[in-house]
Amino acid sequence: MTDTAAPTGPTAVSASTPVADAHRDLRDRLVAAGRLVPTGVDGIYGRDEMFESVVAGFDRLVSAAGADADPTRVEYPPMIPKVNFDRIGYLRNFPELVGPIFSFVGDAAAHRGVLDRLDAGDDYSDLLTQSELALTPACCYSVYPSVGPRIAKGGRTFETCGYCFRHEPSVDPMRLQAFRQREHIRVATPDEVLAWRDRWLERAPELLSSLGLDVVSDVANDPFFGRAGRLMKMSQREQQLKIEFLVDVYGPEHRTACSSINYHQDHFGHLFDITTADGETAHSSCIGFGFERATVAMFQRHGMDTAGWPSNVRDRLGLG
């Protein structure tokens, strides 16, 4: 329920399927054109200046789309305190995606033990110590702990942007391990939050369509882990708490979310003791736009060189 633009559904295919071939083909074309620079690990890439010019234009549009709400803009580093990471329940719900941060804490003798393993090419992870930090899986997670305890009448609106990490190595260039999001976040009464969400349910597909992308909106669920997770997936779908905006990159039956909007109900209000002006637990919703996903989708749609893109798309992105 809290995992903005998280993966769902049809990409869980075996390595031999045509979709997997399509993933590899698009990745190879982006690399051959110079848009993505491989690092040797799937899902971790450098991006060239042309790729980043599209990201910058897309970011401006996403920010402008929420400017009427006069959001409080705040930026955070790409990690959050472990205490908040644990309280949010990310390890409980998405254990295979987590990125806790470990470091070395020890004396010279312990360090020699690490180096012995290093020199032998052996695993040294058990000689490291978990730090007080974890890599951020969603930008908005940095915001909620700072909001309470009581918000003024009319609620609060926030905007934030930054790197997120999810450990899901894949050849699919639409599914990176480190990626950027811009999120708009509303914390208010249930009616205020739902009215805000309704406006974005129209705006988000309009924004993506204006860039030449083929977009559909659909009810979705986060990839909650395990047996308990199946019930959470069902509940999330039944209550329509997560709506994704999916683009056609690998065919209409294999769409990928470039954006999603989540209604958390009072989940974060309870977790971080946020109340509205009338003393009720605050509700919240967030919408996140994935920069790399939208940008890769545009390169797939319009070609590997922005010089050949439709003029209206170039104008929208400020590409001159």
Q: Where along the sequence are the contacts to Zn ion (CB under 5 A)?
A: 4, 138, 140, 183, 286
Contact (Cβ atoms closer than 8 angstroms) between residue 2 and residue 138: yes
Q: How far is the CB of 124 from Zn ion (least distance, A)?
A: 35
Q: How far is the CB of 100 from Zn ion (least distance, A)?
A: 20
Cβ neighbour number for residue 66 with a 10 Å cutoff? 22
AA letter at 230: R
Q: How far is the CB of 242 from Zn ion (least distance, A)?
A: 10
Task: Tell me whether residue 208 or residue 261 sits nearer to Zn ion (CB atom).
Answer: 261
Q: Please tell me the distance from the alpha carbon of residue 283 to that of residue 93, in angstroms, as a whole number.
A: 21
The strand pairing partners of 100, in sequence order, are 134
Q: How far is the CB of 143 from Zn ion (least distance, A)?
A: 8
Contacts of residues 267-274 at CB distance under 8 Å and 24 or more positions apart, as own/partner, are: 267/1, 267/2, 268/2, 268/144, 268/187, 269/187, 271/87, 271/88, 271/144, 272/87, 272/144, 272/145, 272/147, 272/148, 273/148, 273/149, 274/144, 274/147, 274/148, 274/149, 274/150, 274/151, 274/187
Task: Tell me whether residue 127 or residue 185 sits nearer to Zn ion (CB atom).
Answer: 185
Q: How far is the CB of 262 from Zn ion (least distance, A)?
A: 6
Task: Tell me whether residue 36 or residue 286 sits nearer to Zn ion (CB atom).
Answer: 286
